[in-house]
Amino acid sequence: MTSCKLKRVYAAPETSDGTRILVDRLWPRGIAKEKARIDLWLKDIAPSDPLRKRFHGKPDDWEAFCEAYAEELEEEAAQAAVEELRDLLRKGPVTLLYAARDESHNNAVALKAWLERNR
């Protein structure tokens, strides 16, 4: 399986990004679809609205967020999106896109770590 990169959706697209996948539940504010160059929007792989709201802006609760998000990723609704992402990772480079300002504590970081643990 090819590894994936992480990038803020507001950063300029690069050819080395490969398939660009938005992994947020909400469309990022202030960015046009054409400018973002998003190949796929996997809403179902994003944290649920209650989980997102519960941990938004609380980096001290990072471990609890990761555990709760991992549980959601095991649910049936997310599993189809997980399989689609794994298929794309087998085909070539993938960049997971996110809108959060915090580059260390966001759902894309948690998703990448979960994928690496659950190959």
> What is the per-residue pLDDT across 77-90, written as a single tens digit (0 to 9) for each?
899 999 999 999 99
Question: How far apart are alpha carbons 42 and 78 in whole angstroms?
Answer: 9
pLDDT at 64: 94
Question: How far apart are alpha carbons 9 and 12 in whole angstroms?
Answer: 8
Confidence band for 94, pLDDT divided at 50, 70 and 90:
very high
Question: How far apart are alpha carbons 101 and 106 in whole angstroms?
Answer: 8
> What is the per-residue pLDDT across 96-116, written as a single tens digit (0 to 9) for each?
999 999 999 999 999 999 999
Residue extents of the structural domains in the chain = 4-117
For residue 23, count CB atoms less than 10 angstroms from its CB and return exposed for 0-12, middle for 13-18, buried for 19 or more.
buried
Question: How far apart are alpha carbons 72 and 83 in whole angstroms?
Answer: 14
> What is the per-residue pLDDT across 24-59, written as a single tens digit (0 to 9) for each?
999 999 998 888 899 999 999 999 999 998 887 777
